[in-house]
């Protein structure tokens, strides 16, 4: 069989056709999870501080926007001093103040998203370190939350103090009680961990080191809660210990998710107590029974909220 005609139709490739081919140029795709290091964030300290300031301004500003229309309608014609004193005991005003936290938290989450992702340029959860580390798992976070909560309750009892602003809010109405419990469980742990241990700590530890960052974030978190618990040194001390535990968890694990779970469990247990406290008190028939261990524990856990 003559194949010369068939072979004439096959045009050989130039001898240098493979010269540009380099097998080393073909690389396996790198996981975006490996590219992101939560301890080396793309934002700096000043951006983190501005985000923290923005969260504070949103919390106060939205509350102001909620309260002012109510004050103008409810206390029209009353003096500023009289209106101010009345607002502190007005259940509707207190409830509005609590509910204003919802949009403030949502706006804060939007602010965190903008900083972390650079407006969709980076992955959100991975950049924050929203995963478990080889050092810390779910049960460790849960167990530490229960341990710190118990230690805080004992410390509050030993140091003592007067009723706090949170006590007044919880006692103002059942609606305020439920709102506080829901916010403390659903949004507060998420927003606070993203701001303090997510943005602030990760940026600071790269500049001033872990130790100073732990101390700074611990006391900044405790400081913003002082106004709520200013009359109770025991609660302030317990909040400071809780903040230190959360920040040490972030430094040890290198991740934010363990801190969030700790905060969620800590607040969630207190929210359960806040919701059921009225029924616990009703089950006590006299003044002597109100001094039982259950009532004392309930009061301590409520103060730590």
Using one digit for the tens of pLDDT, what is the confidence trace for 146-175?
Answer: 999 999 989 888 887 788 888 888 888 999
Q: How far apart are CA 65 and CA 49, in angstroms?
A: 24
pLDDT for res 288: 40
**Range from 89-93, 95-99, 178-182, 286-290 carrying the lowest mean pLDDT:** 286-290
For tokens 């997510």, the residue is 198
Which residues, 6 or more positions from 68, have their beta carbon under 8 angstroms from its beta carbon?
Answer: none
200 has pLDDT over 60: yes
How many angstroms separate the CA atoms of 97 and 1, rounded? 96
| Residue 198 DSSP label | I
124 in Cβ contact with 109 (< 8 Å): no
Q: Has residue 296 got a pLDDT over 50?
A: no
User: Is residue 287 pLDDT above 80, yes or no?
Assistant: no
For residues 51 and 71, the model is more confident at 51
Question: In the structure, what pLDDT confidence band is assigned to residue 240 with cuts at 50, 70 and 90?
Answer: very high
When pLDDT is averaged across residues 131-141 and rounded to a whole number, the result is 95
Q: Which residue has the tokens 């359960």?
A: 272
The CA distance from 120 to 109, in Å, is 14
**22 contact partners, CB below 8 Å, separation of at least 6:** none
- Six token digits for residue 79: 């003096």
H-type helices in the chain, by residue range? Answer: 4-8, 32-35, 45-74, 80-87, 91-99, 101-117, 124-128, 138-159, 165-172, 174-186, 188-192, 201-208, 210-226, 233-253, 257-282, 293-303
């Amino acid at each position: 069989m003559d194949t010369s005609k068939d072979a004439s139709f096959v045009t050989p490739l130039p001898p240098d056709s493979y010269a540009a081919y380099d097998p080393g140029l073909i690389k396996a795709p790198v996981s975006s999870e490996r590219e992101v290091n939560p301890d080396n964030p793309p934002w700096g300290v000043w951006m983190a501080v501005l985000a923290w300031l923005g969260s504070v301004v949103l919390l106060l500003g939205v509350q102001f926007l909620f309260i002012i229309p109510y004050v103008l309608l409810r206390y029209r014609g009353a003096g500023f001093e009289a209106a101010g004193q009345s607002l502190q005991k007005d259940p509707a005003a207190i409830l509005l103040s609590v509910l204003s936290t919802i949009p403030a938290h949502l706006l804060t989450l939007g602010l965190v998203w903008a900083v972390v992702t650079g407006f969709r340029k980076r992955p959100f959860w991975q950049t924050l370190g929203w995963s478990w580390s080889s050092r810390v798992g779910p049960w460790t976070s849960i167990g530490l939350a229960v341990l710190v909560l118990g230690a805080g309750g004992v410390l509050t009892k030993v140091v003592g103090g007067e009723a706090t602003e949170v006590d007044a809010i919880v006692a103002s109405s059942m609606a305020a009680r439920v709102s506080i419990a829901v916010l403390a469980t659903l949004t507060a742990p998420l927003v606070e961990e993203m701001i303090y241990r997510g943005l602030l700590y990760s940026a600071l530890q790269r500049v001033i080191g872990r130790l100073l960052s732990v101390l700074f974030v611990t006391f900044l978190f405790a400081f913003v809660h002082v106004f709520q618990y200013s009359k109770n040194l025991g609660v302030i001390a317990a909040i400071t210990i809780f903040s230190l535990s959360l920040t040490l968890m972030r430094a040890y694990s290198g991740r934010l998710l363990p801190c969030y779970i700790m905060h969620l469990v800590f607040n969630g247990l207190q929210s359960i107590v806040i919701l059921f406290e009225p029924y616990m008190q009703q089950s006590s028939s006299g003044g002597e029974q109100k001094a039982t261990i259950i009532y004392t524990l309930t009061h301590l856990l409520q103060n730590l909220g």
